[in-house]
Chain A
Amino acid sequence: MAIACALLGVFLILRRDAMIGHGLAHVTFAGVALGLLLHVLPLITALAVAVLTALMIVKLKEKAGIYGDTAIAIFSSVGFALGILIISLAKGFNVDLFGYLFGDILAISVSEVWLSITLAVVIFIIIIVNYHKFLFMTFDRETAKASGVKVERLDILLTILTAITVVLGMKVVGILLVSALIVIPSASGLQIASNFKYATIVSAIIAVSSVVLGLFASVYFDFPASGSIVMISFILFLLIFTVKQLRK
Chain B
Amino acid sequence: MALSVSKHEQLIDIENISFSYGNTKVLVDVKFSISSGDFLAIIGPNGSGKTTLIRIMLGLLKPSHGKICIMGKPVGEFRDWHKIGYVPQKATHIDTLFPVSVKEVVEMGLVSSKVFPKIKKRDEEQLIKRALKYVGMQGYINQRIGNLSGGQQQRIFIARAIVNHPHILFLDEPTTGVDAEMQECFYDMLNDLNKKEGITIVLITHDIGILNKHVSQVACLNQRLVYHGTHKEFCSSGVFKEMLADGHHVITHKH
Show the binding face of A for B, using Cβ within 8 Å: 14, 132-133, 135-136, 139-140, 142-149, 190, 193-199
**A132 neighbours in B (Cβ, 8 Å):** 107-108, 110-111, 114
Closest beta carbon of chain B to A239's beta carbon, Å: 19
Residue of B60, B103, B105, B110 near A146 (CB, 8 A) is B60
- Known contacts A140-B91, A146-B58; is-contact A196 B101 (Cβ 8 Å): yes
- Known contacts A139-B105, A140-B91; is-contact A147 B111 (Cβ 8 Å): yes
Known contacts A139-B100, A142-B60; 11 further A-B pairs (Cβ under 8 A): A139-B98, A140-B108, A143-B91, A145-B60, A146-B60, A146-B81, A147-B81, A147-B109, A148-B82, A148-B111, A194-B101
- Known contacts A139-B105, A146-B81, A148-B81; is-contact A196 B100 (Cβ 8 Å): yes
Residue of A144, A195, A198 near B108 (CB, 8 A) is A144
Q: Is the CB of A143 within 8 A of B86?
A: yes
In the complex, what distance in Å separates the CA atom of A142 from the CA atom of B157? Answer: 13
In the complex, what distance in Å separates the CA atom of A158 from the CA atom of B79? Answer: 23
**A190 neighbours in B (Cβ, 8 Å):** 97, 99
**A14 neighbours in B (Cβ, 8 Å):** 95, 98
Q: Is the CB of B111 within 8 A of A193?
A: no
**A197 neighbours in B (Cβ, 8 Å):** 104
**B88 neighbours in A (Cβ, 8 Å):** 140, 142-143, 146
Q: Scoring B residues 59 to 100 as 1 if CB is less than 8 Å from chain A, else 0, what string do you get?
A: 110000000000000000001011010111001001101111
**B60 neighbours in A (Cβ, 8 Å):** 142, 145-146
Q: List 15 A-B contacts (CB under 8 A).
A: A14-B95, A132-B111, A132-B114, A136-B111, A139-B105, A140-B88, A140-B91, A140-B94, A142-B60, A146-B58, A149-B111, A190-B97, A194-B142, A194-B144, A196-B100
Q: Is the CB of A146 within 8 A of B86?
A: yes
Q: Is the CB of A139 within 8 A of B108?
A: yes
In the complex, what distance in Å separates the CA atom of A145 from the CA atom of B111? Answer: 11
**A142 neighbours in B (Cβ, 8 Å):** 60, 88
Q: Is the CB of A149 within 8 A of B112?
A: yes
In the complex, what distance in Å separates the CA atom of A136 from the CA atom of B170? Answer: 18
- Known contacts A135-B100, A143-B88, A147-B81; is-contact A195 B109 (Cβ 8 Å): no
Closest beta carbon of chain A to B112's beta carbon, Å: 4
**B99 neighbours in A (Cβ, 8 Å):** 190, 193-196, 198-199
**B100 neighbours in A (Cβ, 8 Å):** 135, 139, 195-196
Residues of B127-165 at the interface with A, using a CB-CB cut-off of 8 Å, are 142, 144, 160
Closest beta carbon of chain A to B74's beta carbon, Å: 15
Closest beta carbon of chain B to A201's beta carbon, Å: 12
> Closest 6 A-B residue pairs measured CB to CB?
A148-B81, A195-B101, A193-B99, A146-B58, A136-B108, A148-B112
